[in-house]
Amino acid sequence: MPIYAVTGASGQLGRLAVLELLSRGVPGSDVVAVVRTPGKAADLAGRGVQVREADYSRPSSLVVALADVDRLLLVSSSEPDRRVIHHTNVIEGARSTGTSRIVYTSMLNADATTNPLAEEHQDTERALRGAGIPFTLLRNGWYTENYTGQLDEYLRRGEILGAAGSGRISAATRRDYARAAVTALLQDEPGNRSYELGGPAFDLSELARVISEVTSTAVVYRDLSVGEYKSSLRQAGLDQGSAEFVAALDVSIAHGDLATDSQDLARLLGRPATPLAEVVRTATQRTTIH
């Protein structure tokens, strides 16, 4: 049986991928959870998963953690501006230990996007092409939770603020991306593969409409100019750099960078992505406002 490893396994997506591997019948002893802080993965160890400590910034720790690993799910690092070196360290570690496939969580439409987060994913894809290890690119769209995580705020204000215009967003839940990632990890693929992954597209007006319907609370989308949106983010407490970054993400959405017609996600899931109304309904169970 191959040994499967998942990096970022103490994080939200990585943890879901480890649990998905177990639920597909892979024995815990064949699953390696690569984590920076083993204490955060004690529950996974309790389920028989091999928890190994490694830091993306410490190449020697990666070489030890990836020993005997056949297939690796490289969950992209959460440290902006450090991602390329982090990912390159993991790829080098995998090469030195003879890993046979790397499955990497990249960004939707990475070939042609204005998204400010894209460059680090493009550089990582380049590093994978140069490494000579067969790879699978999971070009993930936005997490729906990027929005439903703000549900309390939307309901309190009665509005969603943004500068995304009618830009469409093919978002999906972390759970769906994790399930798709595990399918890609488990299946035997010849050569390299690339998947464009996203759920059914919505724009922020549709998101507001679905939230209104599900919660019976009126929420509208207020589309602002980029300048107005930056000011509102500053008033909400963001520093100038963060406000510019968040506004740039909406500009990218307005360009259509986070939309896709690809059915790759549904194919990997073996079913349609979780509908937006269902994701919102689940999120309402965690909100403090009803």
Q: Give whichever of 78 and 225 is closer to ligand NAP, judged by the CB atom.
A: 78
Looking at the Cβ atoms of 14 and 256, the one nearer to ligand NAP is: 14
Buried b (16+ CB within 10 A) or exposed e, 236-260: eebeeeebebbbbbbbbbbbbbbbb
Q: Strand, coil or helix: what is 201?
A: coil
Q: Nearer Cβ to ligand NAP, position 14 or 165?
A: 14
Kindly state the tokens that stand for 117: 């987060």
- What is the strand order of the sheet 193-197 is part of? 50-53, 31-35, 4-7, 71-74, 101-107, 135-140, 193-197
Among 4, 143, 154, 195, binds ligand NAP (CB under 6 A): 143
Name which position in 28, 38, 57, 67 contacts ligand NAP (CB under 6 A): 57
One character per residue 144-183, x = contact with ligand NAP (rule: CB under 6 A)? --x---------------------------x---------
Shortest reach from residue 146's CB to ligand NAP, in Å: 5
Task: Give whichever of 253 and 266 is closer to ligand NAP, judged by the CB atom.
Answer: 253
Distance, CA of 190 to CA of 93 (rounded, Å) = 22
Q: Which is nearer to ligand NAP, 10 or 274 (CB)?
A: 10
Q: Which of 4, 6, 11, 251 binds ligand NAP (CB under 6 A)?
A: 11
CB 240 within 8 A of CB 234: yes
Does the footprint of ligand NAP cover residue 99 (CB under 6 A)? Answer: no
Q: Using the rule CB under 6 A, is 187 a contact of ligand NAP? A: no
Q: Sketch the per residue contact string, 12 through 41, with ligand NAP: x for CB under 6 A, - otherwise.
A: xxx---------------------xx--x-
C-beta of residue 282 within 8 angstroms of C-beta of residue 195:
no
User: Least distance to ligand NAP from the beta carbon of 1, Å?
Assistant: 25
CA distance 170 to 257: 10
Rounded Cα gap, residues 190 and 135, in angstroms: 10
Q: Residue 143 in 3-state DSSP?
A: strand
What is the contact surface with ligand NAP in residues (CB under 6 A)? 8, 10-14, 36-37, 40, 55-57, 75-79, 86, 105, 140, 142-143, 146, 174
